[in-house]
């Protein structure tokens, strides 16, 4: 058996076409152009590349974008001042503060200063709470992107056993909430595993859908995978200048029924998740 490749490239292009159509439609109806802003602090090459990608996406789908680049030495007060400006700027639909922040900067103060109505990363506690309660909100972009990837390939989650490895606040934990909830692309039985899970491979071998969000190159191998499982690799790890996932792609490929590659998988879908949230923000969070 050879697995189907769940291409983030193909799925992201299809979703971006849909978003572009919706932007044209709203502009011809006289509605506002969605506008995403990003605050980038410092010169971390990976963060700079991510932000550039997000700006390019905005151009592609017809959003306005604004990049606010602050120096590595910026104080929390300076960042908070930019946040206040964005909160009060009615032309900005939503914005993100690119993570990670420079060492020593207080994440919580920054996160809490973001107007939840404009928090298109969905990281503000109010929006995390709304997500957990199934209320209208912005979904965290990476798990949202995974759902959009599954939707594109018409993979149903209902009644399936989804095992997620990794419980971070931005990926694993919201992924398990979204897959387990009673709603569209939910209704799975979601098991959230982490570094304290004993006999991890025994758990992951029960998965119909296995999602790896660990941050360890090639950690998930053939021994972790039930034949026929769908394997989603969220990991992005740099190994000798190459990007690799958390899944040993070549080793797992012969056993899975479908698998997402790295690069060209979930990373591109994360960016679509952010675009979707910004489109939503143009009309208000709800
Ligand atoms: P974190 O480091 O925040 O979390 C990693 C999780 O993996 C933790 O819950 C940890 O468990 C768990 N873990 C670590 N080692 C093991 C182990 N041996 N067995 C089981 N679980 C383990 O990472 P993130 O969630 O932020 O990111 C995960 C990966 O996804 C990274 O490679 C990152 O680069 C990538 N990523 C990709 C994105 C995309 O757009 N595709 C977006 C965000 C991240 P514990 O909690 O017990 O420590």
Q: Encode pLDDT of 251-283 as tens digits.
A: 999 999 999 999 999 999 999 999 999 999 999
Given a contact cutoff of 8 angstroms between Cβ atoms, the answer to whether 229 and 209 are in contact is yes
Q: What is the pLDDT at residue 66?
A: 98
How many angstroms does the Cα of residue 257 sit away from the middle of ligand 1?
Answer: 24
Say yes or no: CB of residue 266 within 6 Å of ligand 1. Answer: yes
Residue 199 — left, alpha, or beta (φ > 0 → left; ψ -120 to 50 → alpha)? left
Q: Which of 22-26, 43-47, 125-129 has the lowest mean pLDDT?
A: 43-47
User: Ligand 1: which atom is nearest the Cα of residue 265?
Assistant: 41
What is d(CA 19, CA 234) in angstroms, rounded to the nearest whole number?
Answer: 23
The reply to whether ligand 1 has any atom less than 6 angstroms from the CB of 277 is no
Question: Contact at 8 Å (CB) between 152 and 280?
Answer: no
A 10 A CB-CB count for 22 gives 16
**Measured from the CB, is residue 97 less than 6 Å from ligand 1?**
no
Backbone angles phi, psi at 50, to 5 degrees: -60, -45
pLDDT for 2: 80
The share of the chain scoring above pLDDT 90, in percent, equals 97
Residue 276, token pair as written in the block: 């979707």
Instruction: Supply the pLDDT for residue 184.
Output: 86
**Ligand 1 neighbourhood includes 142 CB (under 6 angstroms):** yes
pTM over cut 0.95: yes
Contact (Cβ atoms closer than 8 angstroms) between residue 153 and residue 209: no
What is the C-alpha to C-alpha distance for residues 269 and 147, in angstroms, rounded to an integer? 9
Which of the listed residues 99, 215, 217, 273 should we mutate to test ligand 1's pocket, taking the one with most ligand atoms within 8 A of CB? Answer: 215
**Does the pLDDT value for residue 1 go beyond 90?**
no
Asked if the domains 30-115 and 141-267 are classified in one and the same CATH topology, the answer is yes
Would you kindly state where each structural domain of the chain is located, as residue ranges? 30-115, 141-267
> Could you tell me the two tokens for 249?
């792609």
With a 6 Å cutoff on the Cβ, whether 270 touches ligand 1 is yes
Residue 100: DSSP 8-state:
S
Which atom of ligand 1 lies at the shortest distance from residue 266's CA?
41
- Average pLDDT for the chain: 97
CATH classification code of 141-267: 3.40.50.720
Q: Does the pLDDT of residue 95 top 70, yes or no?
A: yes
- The 10s digit of each residue's pLDDT in 122-180 is 999 999 999 999 999 999 999 999 999 999 999 999 999 999 999 999 999 999 999 99
Task: Decide whether any atom of ligand 1 lies within 6 Å of the 38 Cβ.
Answer: no
Distance from Cα 8 to the centre of ligand 1, integer Å? 20
Question: How does DSSP classify residue 221?
Answer: -
CA 80, CA 106: separation in Å to the nearest integer? 11
The answer to whether 232 and 211 are in contact (CB under 8 A) is: yes
Per the CB < 8 A criterion, the answer to whether 238 and 262 are in contact is no
The closest of 278, 185, 199, 279 to 232, measured between CA atoms, is: 185
Tell which atom from ligand 1 comes closest to the C-alpha of 167.
9
Q: How far apart are the first and last CA of the chain?
A: 45
**Residues whose CB falls within 8 Å of the CB of residue 184, separated by 6 or more in sequence, listed in order:** none
Alpha-carbon gap, residue 52 to 237, rounded angstroms: 19
Q: CB-based burial of residue 45 (10 Å sphere; 0-12 exposed, 13-18 middle, 19+ buried)? A: exposed
Model confidence pLDDT, tens digit, residues 193-237: 999 999 999 999 999 999 999 999 999 999 999 999 999 999 999
CATH top class, domain 30-115: alpha beta
Can you tell me which atom of ligand 1 is nearest the CA of 237?
32
Would you please indicate which residues are annotated as catalytic (active-site) residues?
54, 98, 121
Is 173 close to ligand 1, i.e. is its CB under 6 Å away? no
CA atoms within 13 A on the CB side of 70: 20
Who's near 260: CB < 8 A, 6+ residues apart?
Answer: 5, 6, 7, 8, 149, 231, 232, 233, 266
Q: Quote the tokens at residue 40.
A: 């980038």
Q: How far is the centre of ligand 1, averaged over its atoms, from the C-alpha of 174 (Å)?
A: 13
Ligand 1 mutation target, pool 195, 223, 242, most atoms within 8 A of CB: 195
């Amino acid at each position: 058996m050879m697995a189907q490749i769940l291409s983030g490239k193909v799925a992201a292009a299809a979703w971006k076409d849909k978003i572009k159509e919706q932007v044209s439609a709203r502009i011809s109806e006289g509605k506002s152009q969605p506008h995403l802003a990003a605050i980038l602090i410092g010169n971390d090459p990976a963060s700079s590349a991510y932000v550039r990608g997000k700006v390019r996406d905005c151009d592609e789908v017809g959003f306005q974008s604004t990049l606010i680049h602050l120096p590595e030495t910026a104080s929390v007060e300076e960042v908070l001042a930019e946040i206040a400006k964005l909160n009060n700027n009615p032309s900005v639909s939503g914005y993100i503060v690119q993570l990670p922040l420079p060492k020593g900067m207080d994440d919580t103060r920054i996160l809490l200063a973001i107007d939840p109505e404009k928090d298109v990363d969905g990281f503000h506690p109010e929006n995390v709470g709304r997500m957990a309660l199934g209320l209208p909100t912005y979904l965290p972009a990476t798990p949202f992107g995974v759902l959009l990837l599954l939707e594109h390939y018409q993979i149903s989650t209902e009644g399936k056993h989804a095992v997620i490895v990794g419980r971070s606040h931005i990926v694993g934990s919201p992924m398990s909430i979204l897959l387990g909830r009673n709603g569209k692309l939910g209704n799975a039985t979601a098991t959230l595993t982490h570094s304290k899970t004993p006999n991890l491979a025994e758990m992951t071998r029960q998965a119909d859908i296995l999602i790896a969000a660990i941050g360890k190159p090639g950690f998930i191998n053939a021994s972790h995978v039930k034949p026929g499982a769908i394997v989603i690799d969220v990991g992005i790890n740099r190994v000798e200048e190459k990007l690799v996932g958390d899944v040993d792609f070549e080793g797992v490929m012969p056993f899975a029924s479908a698998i997402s590659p790295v690069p060209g998988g979930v990373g591109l879908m994360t960016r679509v998740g952010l675009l979707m949230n910004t489109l939503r923000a143009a009309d208000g969070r709800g």
